[in-house]
Amino acid sequence: MPYGYHGKILHVDLTVGKVEVEEPEESFYRRYLGGSAMGLTYLLKHTPPGADPLGPQNTLSLMTGVITGAPFSGQSRLCATARSPATGLVGDSQAGGFWPAELKAAGFDGIVVHGQAERPVYLWVHDGEAQLRDAAHLWGRFTADVEDAIRAELGDRRIHVLQCGPAAEQGVRFGALINNANRANGRTGMGTVMAAKKLKAVAVRGHQRPALANPEAVRALARWGAEHFESSDIYGMGLLGTAEVLLPKNKRGGLPTRNWTSGSFEGAEAISGPAMRDTILKGRDTCFGCVVRCKRVVEVSEGPFRVDPRYGGPEYETLATMGSYCGVSDLAAIARANQLCNMYGMDTISCGATVAWAMDCFERGLLTRHDTDGLELRFGNAEALVQMVERIGKREGLGRVLGEGSARAAEALGVGQDLVVAVKNHELPAHMPQVRRSLALIYAVNPFGADHQSHEHDPSYELERDWKYYGERMAELDLRDPQPVGSLGAGKVRYALYTQYFYSCLDSVCACQFVFGPAWHLYGPGQLVEAVRAVTGWNVSLWELMKAGERRLNLLRVFNAREGMGAEADTLPPKLFQPLRGGPTDGIALSVEEAQAARSLYYRMAGWDEEGKPTPAKLEELSLGWAVDEL
């Protein structure tokens, strides 16, 4: 029996209503580690070229990693992979919570969903067994209600439920997968894929935790994390959540405001981490076995925007996309919009950014009250924000069009194409590449669209930082030459690529990118090696883990190349090349020439051709010879 994992992948064919168990060889697990990399192998092998993202041929994988469920911080992560209905390209999304560890305890390392059911069903996975059950009575219901109903039906309050919401059922392209009613695989529309398959939910419960190769080493890693948490740079995230970064970003002119017109928001104090702590915060939640407890739980019991703590609380990304993006400084309204996204099952980033785009169009007279069904959709209108989020969830009025995402909405309405802030039809998260230059590169080249968790950001490798601590960890990745602030030369491109490999590894091991990382994180790269060794018994090296991350990145690019994507898709939206207005970054913009030069150099460093496609030689070098034919 293997250590750390079960050696069992559950395959579910919804078309014929059959479940089967695959038992891959150990070499398969060691090569891909789990998560995104493992899911991509099934996507490429089971989804034919040109498959409709919302059709039966799309393959949805729900994967844990080889360390999932071990008793230390940062390991309970889930990666969902499929062809994205939001981008039409590869889709990839991560989430935390208790569901990932519970799936492992239920006896499986991952689930691969094939086909399409005739009517709604849910999957019940428990202690090595799995069955499909009727879900017609759950269709159209809010996420917390569905979770309660499944637990009551199966007679166990400790069951954990992963599900799509009513928005995905209605075809909103940025539908999320929601677990615990407040944890989201938010990006790239994985919830919409599940809904199109008529799979309402996956309920898991188990008592079969895999054996650990070195239990004492695992306990030592957990003790070290608990002892060093309060002295680490992640401690503030425990106290304030990811909202910790909002005020520092605003101070530096890096908080996207009014659909990326500015980097400074005059209402930042009102929607900040301290403001949340001092007003609506009810408690701090956590993921399985994690000491950080960064999840916010908020409650608003009075006023026009009521918020139920069952649905958690807003992260930094939500505070920005529903707040500064839209010029809204009402914290209760943002928390209500966040709740609506969790109730209906929607990505808060794409949802808020799409509303911000519509507000920009309204301000410029490109949309009128006739288009918005009478709604005064202006920047700063908190009531309009909340109403429009709900209309998107219900697909009512203009919400039906906005549920397509900003790029498709602009095309459908014939307005505001130059105001869309997206890459590959994927709305940008709330980190500004005008301020953090390597983001300009990674946003452009990332296979599933702009993503802020695909590499380490610039401040960790710039000369103004204290290198006594970060430098030691960066050196583990052979990054020893911090770069000038605001640069995007060869040294910064190399840094972006190397840290992208590492973050890509984290999404295959399925480790939290707040807990594990090469800079400000609780555990450093060497401790990730220790974790994998202690759990699995494999004598892995950091080099081996980095190659696994590189393998995943290349598989993502292989899928896109197979679907006809080339360098033309690795571009940035026009707004990023226009000068920002106001605050410390007034007048700052990206340069087209700088971005293109960095992209070309990145391709060459990665071993790809001039179109950004992996070469057969690179795939062979990564033991991915089977993927050469996919090109």
Phi-psi group of 352: left, alpha or beta (phi > 0 → left; psi -120 to 50 → alpha; rest → beta): alpha
Average pLDDT over residues 466-485: 85
Please give the tally of structural domains in the chain: 3
Domain of 22, CATH number, reads 3.60.9.10
Output the six-digit token pair for 8: 């069992």
Q: Convert the pLDDT of each residue in 147-171 to its tens digit.
A: 999 999 999 999 999 999 999 999 9
Select from 208, 22, 184 the least CA-distant residue to 114: 22
Q: Give the helix/strand (H/E) hosting 150.
A: helix 143-154
Instruction: Return the H-helix or E-strand segment holding 500.
Output: helix 490-509
Q: Is the pLDDT of residue 278 over 80?
A: yes
| Residue 87 domain-assigned (yes or no) | yes
Residue 443, pLDDT score? 98
- How confident is the model at residue 480, as a pLDDT? 94
Look at residue 202 and give its three-state secondary structure.
strand
**17 part of a folded domain:** yes
CA distance 504 to 564: 23
One-letter amino acid of 601: L
Q: Mean of the per-residue pLDDT values for the chain?
A: 97
**In terms of C-beta distances under 8 Å and separation of at least 24 residues, what long-range contacts does 11-14 make, across chains too?**
11/111, 11/112, 11/114, 12/111, 12/112, 12/113, 12/114, 12/123, 12/130, 12/132, 12/199, 13/114, 13/115, 14/56, 14/113, 14/114, 14/115, 14/116, 14/117, 14/121, 14/132, 14/197, 14/198, 14/199
Q: What is the pLDDT of residue 631?
A: 87
130 within domain boundaries? yes
**How many other CB atoms are there within 10 angstroms of residue 56's CB atom?**
17
User: Which two structure tokens, joined as six digits, stand for 88?
Assistant: 């039409």
Q: Write down how long the chain is.
A: 631
The pairing of strands 121-126 and 110-114 is: unpaired
Co-location of 141 and 244 in the same domain: no
Q: Is the pLDDT of residue 469 over 80?
A: no
- C-alpha to C-alpha distance for 178 and 72, rounded to whole angstroms: 23
Q: What confidence score (pLDDT) does residue 466 get? A: 55
The pLDDT value recorded for residue 187 is: 97
Does the pLDDT value for residue 467 go beyond 70?
no
Instruction: Verify that 197 and 264 share a domain, yes or no.
Output: no
Distance CA 355, CA 386 (A): 10
d(CA 144, CA 263): 36
Distances (CA, A) of 225 to 5, 233, 245, 266: 23, 12, 22, 37
Q: How far apart are CA 491 and CA 366, in angstroms?
A: 43
pLDDT exceeds cutoff 60 at 468 = no
State how far the Cα of 485 lies from the Cα of 583, in Å rounded to an integer: 18
Closest by alpha carbon to 186, among 518, 578, 448? 448
| Model confidence at 355: pLDDT above 90 | yes
- Contact, 125 vs 204, CB < 8 A? yes
Residues 462 and 584 grouped into a single domain? yes
Same domain, 476 and 578: yes
Indicate if 270 and 146 belong to the same structural domain: no
DSSP calls for 370-381: TTTTT----TT-
Which pLDDT band holds residue 470 (cuts at 50, 70, 90)?
confident
Give the C-alpha distances (Å, rounded to integers) separating 272 from 251, 301, 328, 505. 12, 20, 12, 32
**Is the same domain home to 19 and 124?**
yes
pLDDT tens-digit map of 80-135: 999 999 999 999 999 999 999 999 999 999 999 999 999 999 999 999 999 999 99
Same-domain status, 271 and 323: yes
Contacts of 348 (CB under 8 A, 6+ apart): 184, 186, 314, 315, 317, 318, 321, 322, 337, 338, 341
Domain presence at residue 249 = yes
The region that residue 12 occupies, defined by phi over 0 for left and psi between -120 and 50 for alpha, beta otherwise, is beta
In this model, does residue 45 exceed pLDDT 90? Answer: yes
In a domain, 520, yes or no: yes
Mean pLDDT (whole number) for 520-527: 96
**With contact defined as beta carbons under 8 Å apart, do 499 and 493 qualify?**
no
Distance CA 214, CA 232 (A): 26
Rounded to an integer, the average pLDDT of 43-70 is: 98
The residue segments making up the domain with residue 326 are 232-419
User: Domain check: are 395 and 297 in the same one?
Assistant: yes
CATH number for the domain spanning 372: value is 1.10.569.10
Q: Report, in angstroms and rounded to the nearest whole number, the Rg of the chain calculated over CA atoms.
A: 22
Establish if 285 belongs to a structural domain. Answer: yes
Among all chains, which residue has been given the structure tokens 């929601």?
Answer: 178
- 2 occurs within a structural domain: no
Does 259 share its domain with 193? Answer: no
pLDDT digits (tens, 9 = 90+) for 56-65: 999 999 999 9
Per-residue pLDDT reduced to its tens digit, 571-597 = 999 999 999 999 999 999 999 999 999
